[in-house]
Structure 1
Amino acid sequence: MTVGFFDKPEGFQPQAHAYWDLRLPYIEFDDSLPRIDRYSRKRDPKLGNPRDR
């Protein structure tokens, strides 16, 4: 879900960069947030992996 879906996205402070290994090679952020290669939360295995879609 992107911040564009929210009425007031400024109320949702980022906590990490998830799916970091799927980013475009030229994307970089100059912050100290953790980079998580995959999911940032526990995921139901029935939903599959976005990499496989």
Structure 2
Amino acid sequence: MALFESRKGAGRAWDELSEIDRLVLLETVRQRRKYNAHKSKIYSELYGMRTNK
């Protein structure tokens, strides 16, 4: 008995999603990346203000 089974027969989870689910997932990722970039920009500005004092 193998510790890890072969994944040859297994499909990817992405392939099993409907088109609407894929679009929702992609939009969620876009929004999360946009929010994280915005948050990072704010932290960078605040950190920059502290070092310039």
**Greater fraction of residues in helix:** 2
Q: Which has the larger radius of gyration?
A: 2
TM-score by length of 1: 0.20
TM-score by length of 2: 0.20
